[in-house]
């Protein structure tokens, strides 16, 4: 099976590594890829959001399966173009990708499906902002209604800070979604979906804020770990039954069936799971940790989802133990990152490239905000953390920063579900 992966980040590098372990995968291509993906696949300098260019590349490499990693090409309809051209494609249609592309659309789907989520209100004009803010609090959740690469959310007890973020979004022409605050630890659950059948992966927990102790602004994600020792037995099945399957059924009833990876971001409270958000693709950096423990053939699983045969594939198999991924970020991230710095030590096992490129001399350099994802695997969470941070110690990138506490709260038993 010849597989083409679309995207250039750590998620795509992790997908390629996972696909390379599948004996049924004979050839790997990626567009555009990065400096690290070239070690496992053929990089192609193609714009991931250009549907015509992606279809032409799929024809050129005679792809048996195309896997779309990022959300932007999905929202723009690249999967639709590939399917129209006859390619088996892992990723939802543009209509189904609205589950991530429009938070208001996602809320409407959840309401119709009877899925628990935060109370919300869309504000599309500054004139309505103050009155709307008065209906929320004492913790305000302010979101960009569209795509924001994980950085369009502010959660704060400070009304002035909430108002400032909302006003900035509105000034930029972005509708604002205000939400009530959901109490309880957050879980990321990825599910393979073929329009009808739902197959869950291992649950993970992301660390969104830039600094240790969950301090500082939100980012695209600074690290993740799996599995979750504090999550009650049976909770994954409950999330599938109460959240994912009803949403999949509702989307099918609207003639917009979801095919690909449906990512439920949830808060686990006293009354069970409640949805924080849905994404229409593998999450980054959770993917890097989750796929490190996958034993089932990834290529066959994604092909089954793309071709409507997940019911015949069965549940996934997982390696025992735990996995941790820690993001190494460029100086000034999540602001405008410093780029072009030479990286050393990034060619060792367990290090996945995200924002990297090759300079004129052929050296690997930083080319984005989240530069590397460093993965550790071990018999338990402590061992996985130790391996990840040992590997980070060998990486040199001037001005870089990373969190030192990925998975630490879980390891120390400091995560509890409200009663």
Over the stretch 242-256, which tens digit does the pLDDT of each residue have?
999 999 999 999 999
Residue 337, token pair as written in the block? 């990152």
Using the predicted structure, report yes or no on whether residue 360 has a pLDDT greater than 80: yes
pLDDT given for residue 22 in this prediction: 98
Residue 354, token pair as written in the block? 């995200």
CATH superfamily of 121-179: ATP-grasp fold, A domain (3.30.1490.20)
- Gyration radius of the chain's alpha carbons: 20
pLDDT given for residue 75 in this prediction: 96
Using the predicted structure, report yes or no on whether residue 236 has a pLDDT greater than 80: yes
Residue 103, token pair as written in the block? 């938070």
* Mean pLDDT for the stretch of residues 392-398: 97
Angle subtended at Cα 245 by Cα 241 and Cα 246, rounded to the nearest 5 degrees:
95
Q: Is 83 exposed, middle or buried (0-12, 13-18, 19+ CB in 10 A)?
A: middle
What is the distance between the alpha carbons of residues 175 and 124, in angstroms, rounded to a whole number?
5
Q: Would you say 54 and 81 are in contact if contact means Cβ atoms under 8 Å apart? A: yes
Alpha helices in 347-398 (DSSP H): 381-393
- Single out the residue of 9, 30, 8 nearest to residue 19, CA to CA: 30
What is the distance between the alpha carbons of residues 367 and 107, in angstroms, rounded to a whole number?
35
What is the distance between the alpha carbons of residues 178 and 18, in angstroms, rounded to a whole number?
38
* Mean pLDDT for the stretch of residues 223-227: 98
What is the distance between the alpha carbons of residues 100 and 259, in angstroms, rounded to a whole number?
14
Separation of CA 86 from chain center? 27
What is the distance between the alpha carbons of residues 251 and 93, in angstroms, rounded to a whole number?
12
Main-chain phi, psi angles of 391, to 5 degrees: -70, -35
| Alpha carbon distances (Å) from 355 to 125, 328, 337 | 36, 10, 10
Class of domain 322-411: alpha beta
- Do domains 2-90 and 184-313 share one topology? The answer is no
pLDDT given for residue 370 in this prediction: 98
What confidence tens digit (pLDDT) does each residue in 252-283 have? 999 999 999 999 999 999 999 999 999 999 99
Where are the domains positioned within the chain? Answer: 2-90, 121-179, 184-313, 322-411
Using the predicted structure, report yes or no on whether residue 73 has a pLDDT greater than 60: yes
* Mean pLDDT for the stretch of residues 354-361: 96
Using the predicted structure, report yes or no on whether residue 118 has a pLDDT greater than 60: yes
Q: What is the mean pLDDT of the chain?
A: 96
CATH annotation of 2-90: 3.40.50.20
Q: Would you say 258 and 195 are in contact if contact means Cβ atoms under 8 Å apart? A: yes
pLDDT given for residue 150 in this prediction: 54
pLDDT given for residue 145 in this prediction: 75
Q: Would you say 31 and 43 are in contact if contact means Cβ atoms under 8 Å apart? A: yes
3-state secondary structure of 110: helix
Using the predicted structure, report yes or no on whether residue 307 has a pLDDT greater than 70: yes
Which residue has tokens 């102790």?
A: 213
pLDDT given for residue 376 in this prediction: 98
Separation of CA 4 from chain center? 19
184-313 adopts what CATH topology?
Answer: D-amino Acid Aminotransferase; Chain A, domain 1 (3.30.470)
What is the distance between the alpha carbons of residues 292 and 281, in angstroms, rounded to a whole number?
17
What is the distance between the alpha carbons of residues 361 and 363, in angstroms, rounded to a whole number?
6
At 103, the pLDDT band (50, 70, 90 cuts) reads confident
pLDDT greater at residue 182 or residue 78: 78
pTM: 0.92
């Amino acid at each position: 099976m010849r597989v083409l992966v679309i995207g250039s980040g750590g998620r795509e590098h992790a997908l390629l590594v996972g696909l390379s372990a599948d004996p049924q995968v004979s050839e790997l291509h990626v567009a555009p890829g990065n400096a690290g993906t070239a070690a496992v696949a053929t990089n192609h300098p193609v714009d991931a959001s250009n549907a015509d260019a992606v279809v032409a590349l799929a024809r050129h490499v005679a792809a048996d399966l195309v896997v779309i990693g990022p959300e932007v090409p999905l929202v723009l309809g690249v999967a639709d173009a590939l399917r129209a051209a006859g390619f088996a494609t892992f990723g939802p249609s543009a209509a189904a990708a609205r589950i991530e592309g429009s938070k208001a659309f996602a809320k409407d789907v959840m309401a119709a499906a009877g899925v628990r989520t935060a109370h919300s209100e869309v504000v599309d004009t500054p004139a309505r902002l103050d009155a709307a803010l008065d209906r929320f609090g004492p913790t305000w959740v302010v979101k960009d209604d569209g795509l924001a690469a994980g950085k369009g959310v502010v959660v704060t007890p400070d009304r002035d800070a909430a108002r400032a973020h909302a006003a900035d979004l509105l000034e930029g022409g972005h509708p604002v979604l205000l939400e009530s605050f959901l109490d309880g630890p957050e879980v990321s659950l990825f599910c393979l979906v073929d329009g009808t059948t739902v197959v869950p992966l291992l649950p993970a927990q992301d660390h969104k804020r830039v600094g240790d102790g969950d301090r500082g602004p939100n980012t695209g994600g600074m690290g993740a770990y799996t599995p979750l020792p504090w999550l009650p037995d049976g909770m994954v099945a409950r999330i599938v039954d109460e959240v994912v399957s009803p949403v999949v059924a509702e989307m099918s009833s609207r003639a917009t069936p979801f095919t690909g990876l449906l990512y439920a971001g949830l808060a686990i409270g006293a009354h069970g799971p409640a949805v924080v958000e849905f994404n229409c693709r593998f999450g980054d950096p959770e993917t890097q940790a989750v796929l490190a423990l996958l034993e089932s053939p990834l290529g066959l699983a994604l092909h089954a989802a793309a071709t409507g045969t997940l019911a015949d594939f069965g549940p996934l198999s997982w390696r025992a133990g735990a996995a941790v991924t820690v993001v190494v970020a460029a100086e000034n991230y999540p602001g405008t990152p410093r780029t072009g710095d030479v990286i050393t030590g990034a060619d060792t096992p367990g290090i996945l490239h995200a924002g990297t490129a090759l300079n004129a001399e052929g050296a690997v350099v930083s080319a984005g905000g989240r530069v590397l994802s460093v993965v550790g695997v071990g018999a338990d969470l402590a061992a996985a953390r130790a391996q990840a941070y040992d590997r980070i110690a060998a990486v040199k990138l001037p001005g870089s920063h990373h969190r030192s506490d990925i998975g630490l709260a879980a390891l120390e038993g400091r995560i509890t579900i409200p009663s």
